[in-house]
Amino acid sequence: MSTTDGKEISGKFISIVDKGVKFQIKDSPAPSIIPSASIVEITDSNGKLILNSTTLSLKAEEKEKREKIANNACIGVGTAGCILILGALSMLGGPGSF
């Protein structure tokens, strides 16, 4: 991994997380979260690009869009459920008529 301050960090890329990447630094007992803003690029042992600051930004934007869609879908499902319940109650004579 290359960082914005010019460091080369050896280890293993694990995953993209909310604020950056989870990275197992060589000889470190536990994975670290490396902030997106400090990453220039991550390459594999053969020098093949895994991701860079641009692709990391795009992944974060995609995740944010997916979360917004999921949140809006939940709101829509909840609203539809309420409408169905209110409709069923009105067909049965309304609340309290049992």
Q: How far is CA 66 from the centre of its chain?
A: 8
Domain total in the chain: 1
Mean pLDDT of 31-58: 85
Q: Is residue 11 part of a domain?
A: yes
CA distances (Å), 68 to each of 16, 21, 73, in order?
Answer: 18, 21, 8
Q: In what order do the strands lie in the sheet with 20-25?
A: 11-17, 20-25, 32-35
Best mean pLDDT range from 13-17, 60-64, 84-88, 90-94? 13-17
Q: Is residue 96 part of a domain?
A: no
Q: Is residue 98 part of a domain?
A: no
User: Residue 20: which pLDDT band, with cuts at 50, 70 and 90?
Assistant: confident
Q: Is residue 80 part of a domain?
A: yes
Q: What residue numbers bound the domain in which 85 lies?
A: 2-91
Supply the pTM of this predicted model. Answer: 0.56
